[in-house]
């Protein structure tokens, strides 16, 4: 039993070191992104898949299509802290739809901010690393 506890503690220690390294890398990447602030990383709005729309913004979102999926949103993360972290990391956020039952959110960005967000793919909010991804078309139900 003592040996199992020691193994468990060693695994937890390794996991914490991995998390710390991930957080440091994310922080460094965020800082680097802020310093270049979209200079050569800008992509044209036409690069975005026009088939995905936002229910809330209708045709405007269809043209800009700057909606991203944010995963791993816990109950500890409120709309304002999410908005603040996203804007610090990527730029202007237009709207946020949090879905607590699915632990996720959908965020509408400006085009430049959207491309920065999905190219980096993660953001730190309240010490928690959240994934930021392009919105995909829903799978057909059977």
Pick the more confident residue, 120 or 23: 120
Q: Which residue range(s) make up the domain with 74?
A: 2-134
Give domain status of residue 66, yes or no: yes
Q: Is residue 129 part of a domain?
A: yes
- Tens-digit pLDDT profile for residues 73-96: 999 999 999 999 999 999 999 999
Separation of alpha carbons 84 and 33, rounded Å: 16
Is residue 135 within 8 Å of 69, Cβ to Cβ?
Answer: yes
**Selected residue with higher pLDDT from 120 and 17:** 120
Looking at residue 60, which CATH number applies to its domain? Answer: 3.30.70.330
- Determine, yes or no, domain membership for 45: yes
142 is a domain residue: no
DSSP 73: -
Percent of the chain with pLDDT over 70: 73
Q: Any idea how long the chain is?
A: 142
Average pLDDT along the chain: 79
Please tell me the total count of domains within the chain.
Answer: 1
pLDDT tens, position by position, 11-40: 888 877 887 777 677 767 766 655 654 444
Cα gap 88→86, rounded to integer Å: 5
7 part of a folded domain: yes
């Amino acid at each position: 039993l003592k040996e199992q506890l020691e193994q468990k503690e060693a695994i937890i220690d390794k996991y914490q070191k991995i998390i710390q390294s991930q957080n440091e890398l994310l922080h460094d990447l965020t800082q680097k992104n802020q310093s270049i602030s979209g200079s050569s990383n800008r992509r044209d709005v036409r690069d975005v898949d026009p088939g995905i729309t936002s229910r809330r913004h209708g045709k405007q979102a269809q043209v800009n299509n700057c909606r991203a999926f944010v995963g791993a949103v816990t109950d500890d993360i409120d709309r304002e802290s999410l908005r603040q972290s996203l804007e610090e990391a990527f730029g202007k956020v237009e709207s946020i739809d949090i879905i607590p039952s699915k632990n996720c959110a959908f965020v509408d960005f400006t085009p430049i901010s959207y491309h920065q967000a999905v190219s980096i793919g993660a953001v730190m909010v309240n010490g928690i690393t959240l994934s930021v991804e392009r919105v995909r078309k829903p799978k057909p139900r059977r």
